Structure 1
Amino acid sequence: MCLPVLYGYTSIVYREEVYAPSLPSLSKLMILSSAIHQLIMTLFSTMPFSIGQVQDAGLLFLSSMSTTIAQETSDSPHEAVPTAVVLLPVFTTMTGVALIIMGRLRLAGAVAYIPNSVVGGYLAFIGYFCLQAGVALCVSRPMSTIASWSAVADGEGFRLALPGVAAGAAMLWVSRKRAELLPHIMMAVPLAFFAAVYLWYGEDAIDKARGDKWIGAKSSSSADTGLDSVISQFDFSNVRWDIFPDLIPCWIGMVFVISFSSSLDVAAISMDMGQPLNTDKELEVIGYSNVVSGLTGGYTGSYIFSQTIFQYRTMVHSRWVGFVIAALELCVFAAKVDVLSYSPLFFFGATLIFIGLDLLLEWLIESRTKLMDEEYCILILTFLAIQAVGIDAGIIVGVVMALVEFVITNRVYSEGKKYVRRVERRSRKVRPMEAWKELQKGCYKGQVVTFELRGELFFGNCERVRKILESAVSPPFGEGRSGGLATKHVVLDFHTTTTCDSSASSSLKQFVVMANKNGVKVLGAGFTSRVRYVLSKGGVLGEEGIRPNLGGKIAWFVSVSKALEHCEDGHLGGNREATHLLPPTKSWENLKRQGGGETWGNIVKRLLGLPDAEGGQRGLDMVLNKYHEVVELEAGNSIFRQFEVGPEGFEGYSDGGASSSSESFYVILQGQVLSFSTGHELQGTYLDKGAVVGYVDFLLDRPRSFNAVVVEKARVAKITREDMHKMKEADGAVFNMVERCVLLASILELANTSEC
């Protein structure tokens, strides 16, 4: 699979007509370079199964450099090839040094600040470039502009291009449907071609096919592709060193793009493995391979993600695979046979067309469903800008557009504001005291970790957020899980997240996949409509109500309390009813059958961990029934309002006869209630059965400090100040129990309160 692609890459880098006579020797240099990359990465990478070759990310920059050299030497064409084969390796060596420095200084994460939409535009352009180069290789004509597509308009051009396009499309289809069959297809195409050639032409089939331009022109002698011919290209007396400064801006862009693409490759490999890789260390290895490649006359390269993952999944984790690949490439390099003069040109073109179609489909078509409208527009504009003004300027234009879009769409990010922090949260589910103690000893000693994500999550901070999330998981990804309490669930609270972009979505996806591969489930709640939309398009967020699993998506819960409740239930031994560690009473079973929810007495006993004897339960209920009123409310009814603030603007929530007086507090017996400050509905808190609402305002005898609105049909116990006075005078022991109960409930509420 490597060799056909390398011949195609040679035609991309040296696409100007002045290089055509030297393409056989230049192809040998490309093969030697890949062998060097493979050898260095096999020796020094932390991944023994890694595949390293000349990579497509730097091809456009190398091609741009060679085009500049061809233009500058147009008056003296004999200087073009010597200048190109010297200066391009020099810049490859400089790129390697830059990557080593970035790795040593731990700057690999800095390159992640390019927005996904800009990267997508660049990758789409690579796809277009590969498609154009593949067609050019098929028709044996230079194609460097949009106007040059006319080369396929005539009969001969169409005839030569059609098999390459068809073969490339077939490879694309197979790679997406049955990827394991792709090598077989790539072998079948040339075999089928030669069978057809011998059947069609008969005697002297190869020469006749070459005459019809199906096969590359034959070299004048074997020396044209021997080692002497390759070495002769390095004619230092004809090198135009004065062109060197003109290529520096292009080199700067190449360093940034190669470092970025290499970091992405390492991150993608890490995700698939389910183990963290040291990106800075791997960037150093890539740097060393580029230095050696440049010093031996080669070109930029990196890990090949698809082939590395293929080796990992086949469980062939031996370094011998890399050594064999490097040895075979060195044999092809040393051979005097010109492969191009005996192989179908459309086959090499088809490999480039396959790569080009794959990139174009992924970034121009499929990304439409994964990006916000404005991000997709930036992707398209970046793609067009690179076409119009070149790679470097086009990427800069894309980054500027992304920054402008972010400033316009979102408020300016506050400097120093925390965008992620670990918080202590508990569910609001009513449980026996024994259950709470069990949860404190196990569940909340590292098994369940909760994070609050705040403000804007975007390309400027998403990598930092991901690293913070990963660092808090115990033990760290990839380490053994013997001893201590290993993290089982990570709960993400998005209720103060105002927006996020596709870059943040990709970073969260990487964290979720990594967590799942290590047996850690990720749950989330509090999504705004925009955040939910972006995460859903990015394939990060599962559907609401689906149980947490290890499928690479965040399980979506209506509230953080519900998410934590799920984690707690799992720790306590499965999804049992609210009684959990204590057997249910008959009165509780009757209430469930009647759909009546909890009783106040039952909630008091559970919070205080009192014995659940049936007679005692009924007695407590009979006493408490004298001191509260049960109120039934429909969804949208207000229990009470924030002082001097009406519910205008909060659509769908009716009056419900509520007031801002604090002469009573409420206990939720059934249903769900949303508490929020006016104007901050999205940052509200969902309260479930057993929660006490409004007690702090009641205790301090102050006006209501927040709103309480019924989300789903509810039954609440209303306890007035007068009820509490009567209870204290007539049933002092019960009063003390109730006071302890509501104070404990208030403490639990404070434990779940976010800092503003």
Structure 2
Amino acid sequence: MGLLIGILAIIFAISFSAIVFSGPLARFLPQGIGIALFSATVLNTLIGLGSSYRGMIGPPQDMTAAILALAAAQFAAVPALTVAGAPLFETAVVMLAVAALSTGVVLMALGRFRLGLLVRFIPYPVVGGFLAATGWLLIKGATGFMTDMPVQLRTLAKLGEASTLVAWVPGALLGIAMLVASRRVKHAATLPVVLVLGGVVFYAVAALAGYSAEALQARGLLIGPLPPAGMWQPLTPDVLGRADWGAIGAAWPLLASTVALAVVGVLLNATGIEFATHREVDLDRELCAAGLANVAVSAGGGLIGFQGLGLTVLAERLGRPSRAVPLVVALLSAVALFAGAGVLSFVPRMIVGGVTIFIGLDFLANWLVESRRRLPVSEYAIVLLIFAVAAGVGFLEGVAVGLFAGLVLFVLSYSRADIVRHRLTRATFRSNVDRPQADEQRLIDRGSEIEILVLEGYIFFGTAHRLIADIEARTAAEPRTVRFLVLDLRLVSGMDSSAVHAFAKLRRLAEQRGFTILLSEPPPAALAQFRRDAGGDEIGMPVLPDLDHAVEWCERRLLEEDPDWRDAPMEQLADCLGREVGDTAMALRIARYFEPLSLGDGGIVMEGGSHGRDLYFLESGRLAVSDPDGGTRSRRLRSILAGNVVGEIGLYLGLPRTATVVAQGACGLQRLSEAAFETMQIEEPAAAGALHKFVLRRAVLRLAHANRHLLALSR
């Protein structure tokens, strides 16, 4: 298994070096092959040992080689590098070292600080267009390598000449054959078999035509002759000193895009390996392993490399993964580097070019053809746009246009998203304040005057504009029934400055149309933005700690408009029982089993978790029902006003108290003890039955309110 993977890795490495060392650098191809084999040795050793997946293959990569080839091709336009004796090779090698070192440092930093998941935020169609453009570059580079001339508009005519067709058509056919075979025959040996058959056919046709190996080399159909030694040398101070650092600096946009592509490539390949092998992969560890390997490769001016999806999955299919596999690949690469020049000299250029064309065609087929079925039209259009601009104008221009188009698409798509999670009114969502029945009926009659919008997500200019348009439409209807609009911001993750200004516009709209806007539970950062925009702590809108208190604030304002409403209601137990039971005498018989209880502010009626079966009726004052969270704060469950009961769960079920109830100010209560309740059931069974109905009715009303809440929030 390791032998087969090693042979394929060597062929791929040579193919990628041929892409970089083409055109003006073609005469340095032997050294380029040495650099590729050195890179394969180091990458497979360090990635194989450092990866979280046993058996991870770490070859030099095609996608980064294509961009590095563009950077190297720019050196042909530098006059100082085109004269005889110019340090063209030294500049190219140092450029490769800078790219590998930069990539390694960035990968290690991302892995060290566990930032691998951030790269997943790159838009999927942008990555697709990027890879499609890379596929085009690979095909161009492979064709230029096989013909010894750049593929440009001015050279297209020469590609059709008979002498040139012989050079590139066999490689193109081999690449197409590999693509078709890999899609038709799902077997690990498919590609090796096609490559061997391609080599056999090449030498068979050459033999029939009467060409010897020397003649094939003379015609440029083999990658040799290669020198028996010296294909690779480590970077030395002399090489660093001779390099044209100005030319390297001018290529920084391409080098930066190479680093970005390498980061994306590591995470995409690692995720793909995880999916294909059904084995967990630690993304941050993969980043660190690839980063360390690229830093080491930079010492020899090597090619960028990282986790290889195809070769790793192939090794998985051939047998049980083991760290021995990448080490065998590294060993074979080292043998080829130091002792394999004689054999490598007889590798046909069509094999090297065909492999590269196959990879380029695979990218194009995947992202220009197959992605049409799995991507929405808008996202597929971005893939086509990036490819068209990269092929017609330039690679960096294509990527820049794609990023911009992806950003515009995101803004438009997110602007269409509804940030209103729930639309409620007082009729479907009341506060947790248990009021006297008369007050509750008043609020039910005016429930449509309180509207609640529960917002979620990130609010920016697009979504804020849609929100304002929605509110304008809802408050424009006649007659205008909305008096209070509660905007619940608990689920809002943040907002930009344009959204803050949009809220100011919303406040002016409320003033014009006569309704009040309240904010409930705004995130601290958003509240700080509102205050900065207002120039002080007063932002022109009431701010409440949560939705419960915001709705209560609105309810109180509505009740204050009723001249018959009392701020501190009092409900005598006998009067309340008489209205509901319909029998004053029965009410008095029930009331005599209760005993009065007075509590001051902070007085405890019951504590959560305690045992007790007493029932309490509140005649005056206010009780707070809270759920202690073990800290210094308690979350309000309910607030109870006069005319309501508390403690019924303990009375009927005998369970520990589920909440803590304390007095807010002076309170007057009537208490029914457990003993008195049992006595009533014996002495006055009819009175006990009436009390059951009284308590049950209030419990059912609270249950009905809770059901309406759940139903409203589930829509």
Task: Establish whether TM, by shorter chain, passes 0.5.
Answer: yes
Query: C-alpha separation between the residues in 2 aligned to 1:317 and 1:133?
Result: 34
Give per-residue Cα distances to partners, 1:90-130, cap 9 Å, x unaligned.
22112101111111122222222221111111111111111
Q: Which moved more, 1:142-151 or 1:366-375?
A: 142-151
- Going from structure 1 to structure 2, the CA distance change for 1:148 and 1:112 (only over 3 Å counts) comes to farther
Quote the residue 1:19 is aligned against: 25
- How far did residue 188 of structure 1 move? 2.1
Q: Does 1:304 align with 2:312?
A: no
Contact 1:266 1:277 in 2 (8 A): yes
**Superimposed CA distance per residue, residues 266-295 of structure 1 (whole angstroms, 9 cap, x where no aligned partner):** 111122233442212211111001001111
How far apart, CA to CA, are the structure 2 residues paired with 1:258 and 1:413?
A: 33
Partner of 1:265: 269
Query: Is the counterpart of residue 66 in structure 1 residue 69 in structure 2?
Result: no
Return the alpha-carbon distance in structure 2 between the equivalents of residues 232 and 112 of structure 1. Answer: 35
- 1:92-241 matches, within 5 Å, as 92-138=100-146, 140-180=147-187, 181-198=190-207, 200-201=208-209, 205-216=212-223, 218-219=225-226, 224-227=227-230, 230=233, 235-241=239-245
SS at match of 2:341: coil
Once the two structures are overlaid, the 10-residue window that deviates more, 265-274 or 48-57, is 265-274
C-alpha distance in structure 2 between counterparts of 1:368 and 1:354, whole Å: 20
The answer as to whether partners of 1:127 and 1:355 remain within 8 angstroms in 2 is yes
Distance 1:167 1:48 in 2: 32
One-letter amino acid matched to 2:70:
S
**Distance (Å, rounded) in 2 between the aligned partners of 1:5 and 1:151:** 27
Say if 1:161 and 1:346, in contact at 8 Å, map to a contact too: yes
1:337 — aligned with what? 341
Instruction: After superposition, give the CA deviation of every residue in 1:153-185 in whole Å (9 maximum; x if it has no partner).
Output: 111222332221221111111111213222222
**1:754 and 2:713 matched:** yes
Query: Which amino acid letter does the alignment assign opposite residue 308 of structure 2?
Result: I
The 3-state SS of whatever aligns with 1:54 is: coil
CA-to-aligned-CA distance 1:372-395 (integer Å, 9 cap, x gap): 222122111111222345333321
**Alpha-carbon contact 1:111-1:256 (below 8 Å) kept:** no
Q: How does 1:33-72 map to 2 (within 5 A)?
A: 33-72=39-78
Matched AA of 2:201: A
Cα distance change, pair 229–367 in 1 and its aligned pair in 2 (3 A): closer
Distance 2:232 2:282 in 1: 41
Match of 2:488 in 1: none
Per-residue CA deviations over 1:459-492 (Å, capped at 9, x if unaligned) read: xxxxxxxxxxxxxxxxxxxxxxxxxxxxxxxxxx
- How far apart, in 2, do the equivalents of 1:292 and 1:43 lie? 14
- Compute the displacement of 1:254 (Å): 1.7
1:493-550 CA-partner distances (Å, limit 9, x unpaired): xxx9xxxxxxxxxxxxxxxxxxxxxxxxxxxxxxxxxxxxxxxxxxxxxxxxxxxxxx
* Residues 284 and 229 of structure 1: CA distance in aligned 2, closer, same or farther (over 3 Å): closer
Distance verdict in 2 for CA 1:335–1:133, change over 3 Å: same
Q: TM-score, normalised by structure 2?
A: 0.56
Measure, in 1, the Cα distance between the counterparts of 2:708 and 2:278: 37
1:368 & 1:269 partners in 2: Cα distance?
23
Q: Could you state the TM-score of these two structures normalised by the residue count of structure 1?
A: 0.53
**Residues 75 and 192 (structure 1 numbering): CA distance in 2 closer, same or farther, change over 3 Å?**
closer
| CA deviation vs aligned residue, 1:644-678 (integer Å, no higher than 9, x gap) | xxxxxxxxxxxxxxxxxxxxxxxxxxxxxxxxxxx
When residues 390 and 44 of structure 1 are mapped into structure 2, their CA distance, relative to the original with a 3 A threshold, is same
Structure 2 residue aligned with 1:402: 406
- 1:362 CA displacement: 1.0
Partner AA of 1:268 in structure 2? G
Q: Cα gap change, 1:750/1:387 in structure 2, threshold over 3 Å: closer, same or farther?
A: same
Aligned to 1:381: 385
Question: In structure 2, how many angstroms separate the alpha carbons of the residues matched to 1:150 and 1:251?
Answer: 32
1:267-306 equivalences under 5 Å are: 267-306=271-310
Q: CA deviation at 1:70?
A: 3.2
Alpha-carbon separation, structure 1, partners of 2:122 and 2:191? 32
Tell me the number of residue pairs that the alignment of Structure 1 and Structure 2 aligns: 443
Note the 1:361-376 alignment, pairs <5 A. Answer: 361-376=365-380
Alignment of 1:578-617 (within 5 A): none
Does structure 2 conserve the Cα–Cα contact (< 8 Å) formed by 1:19 and 1:81? yes
Alpha-carbon offset, residue 345 of structure 1: 1.4
Paired amino acid for 2:320: V
Secondary structure at the aligned position of 2:713 is classed as coil
**Alignment partner of 1:179: what SS?**
coil
Residues 1:228 and 1:368: Cα distance change in structure 2 (over 3 Å): closer
Q: Report the CA distance between 1:30 and its aligned residue.
A: 0.7
Question: Residue 258 of structure 1: CA displacement?
Answer: 0.9
Name the amino acid aligned to 1:404: V
Equivalent position amino acid for 1:92 in 2: A
Q: Distance in 2 between matches of 1:350 and 1:105?
A: 40
Deviation string for 1:704-746 (max 9, x for gaps)? xxxxxxxxxxxxxxxxxxxxxxxxxxxxx9xx99999999999
2:41–2:333 contact (8 Å) kept in structure 1: yes
Residues in 1 aligned to 2:379 and 2:327: alpha-carbon distance in whole angstroms: 43
Query: Which residue in the other structure is 1:246 paired with?
Result: 250
Post-superposition Cα deviations, 1:185-209, rounded to whole Å, max 9, x if no partner, equal 22222123223333x145x622233
Q: 2:371·2:380 contact (CA, 8 Å) conserved in 1?
A: yes
Query: Does residue 90 of structure 1 match 2:90?
Result: no
Cα distance in 1, alignment partners of residues 271 and 36 from structure 2: 26
Match of 2:13 in 1: 6
Aligned positions of 1:557-636 closer than 5 A: none
Shift of 1:456: 10
Q: Is the 8 A contact 1:413 1:456 kept in 2?
A: no
Contact 1:11/1:137 (<8 A) preserved: yes
CA–CA distance in structure 2, aligned partners of residues 81 and 738 of structure 1 = 91
Please tell me whether the aligned partners of residues 86 and 239 of structure 1 are also in contact (alpha carbons under 8 angstroms).
yes
Alignment of 1:432-511 (within 5 A): none
Kindly provide the amino acid, as one letter, of the partner of residue 49 in structure 1: G
Deviation at 1:323, TM superposition (A): 0.9
Deviation at 1:407, TM superposition (A): 2.7
Instruction: Find the residue that maps to 1:342 and give its secondary structure.
Output: coil
Task: Give the Cα separation in 2 of the matches to 1:339 and 1:144.
Answer: 29
Letter matched to residue 119 of structure 1: V
Q: Which runs of 5+ in 1 are unaligned?
A: 420-452, 458-495, 497-732
Q: Give the residue type in structure 2 aligned to 1:78.
A: A
State whether residues 55 and 302 of structure 1, in contact with CA within 8 Å, keep that contact through their aligned partners in structure 2: yes
CA contact (8 A) 1:65 1:247 kept: yes
- Paired with 1:20 and 1:225, the residues of 2 have a C-alpha distance of 18
The 1-side partners of 2:362 and 2:39 are apart by 25
Name the Cα RMSD after superposition. 3.7
Structure 2: distance between partners of 1:286 and 1:754: 48
Residue 59 of structure 2: SS of its match in structure 1?
strand
Pairwise CA distance, 1:213? 4.1
